[in-house]
Amino acid sequence: MPSAHGGEVQSAARRLAIREDRLLDASASLVPWTPRLPRAVARAALRCYPDRAHAELRCLLAQLHDVAPTAVLPGNGAAELFNWAARDAAEAGRSLLPAPRFDDYSRALSCWAGQSQSCSLPIEWSSVTPQPYPLGDPAEVLWICNPHNPTGQLWSRDSLEPLLHRYRLVICDEAFLSLVPDGERQSLIPLVAAHPNLVVIRSLTKLYGIAGLRLGYAIAQPERLQRWAQWRDPWPVNGIASAMAQHLLLSPRRYQRWCRKAQDWVAKEGAWLQQQLEQLPGITPMPSSVNFLLIRAEQSLVPLREALEQRHFILLRDCRSFEGLGENWLRIGLQSRRGNRRIIRALRQELARRPLV
C-alpha cells in the first residue's frame, strides 16, 4: 500500500540507489524555492530552550490575520494540531469526513477512538472558482479542507459559513490557502471570533518550501487553544523552526510579497501544466485552484507512476492512499517551468511506450 504522504525522497533515493538531488519530487506540493535562515539566528536558536509560550511567534501570526495572539497556537506542522482537533472532535461526537481526502484526519481521530463516517464528494467538477461546498450530512463534527486536498477545489466562504450553525465543531484545514490566487477571501479565519465551534489550521511549510521544519498553526477561540496547550509536549515547536518563522514573518509586507510570488507561480505554471497535460493521450487533468492537480485515466496509472520513478527519477503522488480515489488517479505537484517540462517530457515518452487504451 502506498504511503499516506508524499515527499519521501530519502526512501526513493535508497530504493533507486541514486543521490537525492537527482530526484524531482512532484509527490509533495511545495513552492520550488526556499528562503534562507541567517546563520546568526540559527546559532542563537540552538543555544536556548524554545519559548514554551511562543509569544513572539503568536504575535506575528496574529498580526497577519488580524486576530488576538491568544487565538493563535503554533504547532509542529499541521499534523500535530490535527491530533488535538481530533481529541475535541472525538468528545463532540461523530465526525463527517469528505472523500476523497487526506488520510491524516482519520489517523488523528483513531488516536482518540473517534467515530467517523465518510461522505463522497463529486469526482467531476468545473474550473469555476470558488465553488459551493456540496456536503452537509448529519453528524456532530465536520472536517473541511479548503482548498481541498487532493482535488484542488476551492470552496466559497459563503457556502461554508451556514455550516457553522449545523455542527457542534467545524475543523477547517486551510494548509494550502495562502498559495491560491485571491484565496484569502474564502478563509474562515474572520469568522473565528464569533464562532467558538470553529478551528482553522494553517501551514507555513507549503508556502515557504520548508517541510523539514514542520511549522503549522491553529486559529480558534483562546479557551480551546489553552486546553490544547495543556495536553501537548512542553516544546512542540523546536527553536530552529520558531526562529525561522519569526524571521520570515517579521515584516508583514515581505510576507505579502512572498504570497504574491507564490500565487503568481501557481496561476502561471498551473495553467501551463494543465494545457500541456490536456494534449497527452489517455489521461484527463482535472481543474485545480492550487499548486497540485489530479490526472485520471480509464485504467491503472500505477505502472506509469512506477516508470516515471524508475526511468526518469520523477516522483508523483500515488492516489490509492486517498479514500475515494484509487489506482486510476495520480497527483502532480507543480514545479518550476524546467521541472514541469521534465514531467511532461517523461509522461509523453512513457505514454508513447505504453499507451493507455
Q: Are residues 202 and 305 in the same domain?
A: no
Tell whether 36 is covered by a domain: no
Within this chain, do residues 125 and 214 fall inside the same structural domain, yes or no? Answer: yes
Strands (E) in 12-156, as ranges, are 24-26, 72-75, 95-99, 116-120, 141-145
Amino acid at the residue 37: L
Q: Is residue 23 part of a domain?
A: yes
pLDDT digits 0-9 by tens, 40-64? 777 777 878 888 999 999 999 999 9
Decide if 300 is inside a domain: yes
Task: Please tell me the predicted confidence (pLDDT) of residue 225.
Answer: 98
Same structural domain for residues 110 and 147? yes
pLDDT for the residue numbered 253? 94
Q: Residue 41 falls within a domain, yes or no?
A: no
Whether 81 and 151 map to the same domain: the answer is yes
Shared domain check, 192 and 169: yes
Same domain, yes or no: 132 and 260: no
Helix 222-231 vs helix 77-92: angle between axes, to the nearest 10 degrees?
A: 110
Quick one: 194 and 261 in the same domain? no
What does pLDDT average to over the chain?
94
Residue 38 lies in a domain: no
User: Which residue among 250, 280, 297 closes a domain?
Assistant: 250
Number of helices (H), then strands (E), in the chain: 12, 12
Which one of 250, 274, 295 terminates a domain?
Answer: 250
Task: Say if 94 falls within a structural domain.
Answer: yes
Regarding whether 200 and 123 lie in a shared domain, the answer is: yes
Residues 24 and 148 in one domain: no
End of a domain among 208, 225, 250? 250
Task: Tell me the CATH number at 304.
Answer: 3.90.1150.10
- The β-bridge partners of 198 are 170
- The structure's pTM equals 0.95
Q: Tell me: the pLDDT tens digits for 215-267?
A: 999 999 999 999 999 999 999 999 999 999 999 999 999 999 999 999 999 99
Q: Which domain holds residue 331?
A: 9-30+255-353
Selection from 327, 324, 288 nearest residue 100 by Cα: 324
Question: Tens digit of pLDDT for each residue in 307-325?
Answer: 999 999 999 999 998 988 9
